Amino acid sequence: MQRIYGLAFETKEELEKYLKMIEEAAKRDHKVIGQKLDLFVFSDLVGTGLPLWTPKGTMLRILLDDYVWQLRKKIGYERVEIPHITKKELYQTSGHWDKFKDDIFRITTREGHEFAMKPMSCPHHTQIYARKLWSYRELPQRYSNSTTCYRDEQTGELSGLSRVRAFTQDDAHVFCRFGQVKQELGAIWDKIVVPFYKSFGFELKLRLSLHDPAHPEKYLGEKDKWLEAEEVLRQLAKERKVEFFEGVGEAAFYGPKLDFMATDSLGREWQVATIQLDMNQPERFDLTCVDEKGQKERIVMVHAAIMGSIDRFLSILIEHTAGAFPLWLSPVQVSILPISKKQNAYAKKVMKELLVASGELRVELDDRDESVGKKIREASMQKVPYQLILGEKEQKAKKVAVRTREGKDLGQMGLKKFLEKISLEIEKKK
Ligand SMILES: [Zn+2]
C-alpha cells in the first residue's frame, strides 16, 4: 500500500508561512546544531540510537537535571539510585514483561538466569519503598532519580535524539495515600512543571489521558478504580481553570495521566512533562502503609517526569532556541577576545578575575593569533552569550567592551558592573 499525504491551505499567506516554518525547522535541526555546537556524537562502533555526550553537551544535561532537582528538593523529594539491570521477575510482577517484552533488552547471565536492561525506573523504585513497613505518618515518600533506561527500538525508527535506544529519564515517584494524591499532583504541576517550562518560554497545553473503555485488555486493574483515578485528575485540571482536552486511549497501561504539551518558537507542539496516577503497581507489588487504626492500607503511586527523557528534551530545546541557550544554561557563558597579542596578558588577568569573583562562571579565552573579526564570528556561531573584546583602549581604562551573540554592542564597562549584570541574569534564569 502506498500512502500519499497532502496539506491544504486557505490562503497563499498561510502556505507561505508554512513553507517558511519548514525552512526554519530544517535550519534548526538538532542533529545539525548539535554537531556545530559540539554537544553530542554517534559512533558506528557504539551503535545507532546510542548518543555519546561531549563535555559541552554533558554540561547542558547536568544543569538541566540540577534545575529540576532544585525545584523538587523544595517540595520534599529525596534522591535514590538504582542499577541498570534487573531479574525479569521484577517486570513480570509489574506487568511490563507482558506488555513490552519485545522492547526490552535481555541479558542471560553465565549461570543461565534471564535479566533485563531497565526500560523505566518505576518497578525498581517500588522495591525501595517496600524495604520497610511505613506508618501513614511517614507518607508521602518521594523518590527522585534521573537514570538511563534502555529500549530495543528498531533501527529504522531511530532518529537523532528524538528516538534512541538509551535515554536518561527524570521520572520521580511519590508513594502516598489516596487522600494525598491531589496535593501531591498539584505541587508537581504548580511548583515544578510550570516554572520549569516558563523559564524557556514554552507555552503549555494539557491533555487528560484516559483509558479506552472499548479496549479494557490494554490496561491493568478494575474499571471502577480507573474511573476514580481519572476523576481526581479531571478535578485537578478543572480547579486550575486551565484549558484541557481529554485523550481517550492515551493513558499508561497502569493509570491515567496529565500530559503537558509545549509549543515551541516555531509553533510546533511536543509532548513533554507527564504526571501519572497509578493505582495498579502498588496492588501488584503489595505496597501498603499502616493507618490510624493499625491496619494495613493499600497506597497509590504517582509518577512525575518533568523533562521526560533529558535527551529528547534537549532535541526540543535545541530546536526551540536554535542553540542560543539562556545564559545560565550556556556551556560557555563568556568569551574573552583580545584584539591582538599585546592584550593577551590583560585578557588572562580579566579571565582570572572573572573566575575568582564569580566562582562558577564558564569562561573561555581565545588568544589565538587570529583577527578579532574572526574570533567574534566564531564565538557568535558557537552562541556564546557574551563576548568581551579587549583592545588597547580597554586595557588602558581597565575595562572591557561587551558584545552580545546577537551582535549588540553594550559598550565599555568595568568588570564589576559586567559581573553584576550577568549574575542577575543567571539568577533570574534569563
Ligand atoms: Zn514511573
Whole-angstrom CA distances from 249 to 169, 209, 216, 306, 348 are 23, 7, 10, 22, 60
Kind of pairing between the strands at 269-278 and 257-263: antiparallel
Same domain, 118 and 185: yes
Residue showing cell 500500500: 1
So what's the pLDDT on residue 156?
A: 84
How remote is the CA of residue 86 from the centroid of ligand 1, in Å?
A: 16
What tens digit of pLDDT does each residue of 378-430 get? 999 999 999 999 999 999 999 999 999 999 999 999 999 999 999 999 999 87
Residues 6+ apart with CB under 8 A from 120: 96, 149, 169, 171
Same domain, 93 and 213: yes
Task: Write out the residue range of the structural domain in which residue 147 sits.
Answer: 12-317
**Residue in 28, 173, 312, 320 annotated catalytic:** 173
3 state DSSP class of 139: coil
Same domain, 217 and 279: yes
How remote is the CA of residue 306 from the centroid of ligand 1, in Å?
A: 11
User: Which cell numbers hold the place of 135?
Assistant: 506508618
So what's the pLDDT on residue 241?
A: 84
Residue showing cell 500530559: 259
**Average pLDDT, whole number, for the chain?**
93
User: In whole angstroms, what is the distance from residue 280 CA to residue 12 CA?
Assistant: 52
Question: Where is the domain boundary, 287, 317, 347?
Answer: 317
Q: Count the domains in the chain.
A: 2
**Residue in 72, 96, 122, 176 annotated catalytic:** 122
Does 103 map to a domain?
yes
What's the predicted TM-score (pTM) here? 0.92
What tens digit of pLDDT does each residue of 183-201 get? 999 999 999 999 999 999 9
CB atoms within 10 A of CB 70: 10
What tens digit of pLDDT does each residue of 254-303 get? 899 999 999 998 888 999 999 999 988 999 999 999 999 999 999 999 99
Mean pLDDT, range 44-57, rounded to an integer: 96
Greater confidence, 25 or 422?
422
- In this predicted structure, the answer to whether residue 322 has a pLDDT above a threshold of 90 is yes
Mean pLDDT, range 307-322, rounded to an integer: 95
CATH number at residue 399: 3.40.50.800
Does 382 map to a domain?
yes
Mean pLDDT, range 315-320, rounded to an integer: 95
Same domain, 341 and 398: yes
**Which of the four pLDDT bands, split at 50, 70 and 90, describes residue 155?**
confident
Determine whether 170 is an active site residue.
no
Same domain, 174 and 220: yes
Q: What percent of the chain has pLDDT over 70?
A: 99
Mean pLDDT, range 125-151, rounded to an integer: 97
Same domain, 288 and 338: no
User: Which cell numbers hold the place of 143?
Assistant: 523518590
What tens digit of pLDDT does each residue of 62-90 get? 999 999 999 999 999 999 999 999 999 99
So what's the pLDDT on residue 377?
A: 96
How remote is the CA of residue 171 from the centroid of ligand 1, in Å?
A: 5
How remote is the CA of residue 45 from the centroid of ligand 1, in Å?
A: 31
Does 355 map to a domain?
yes
So what's the pLDDT on residue 1?
A: 55
Same domain, 299 and 371: no
Sign of CA dihedral 246, 122, 270, 1: negative
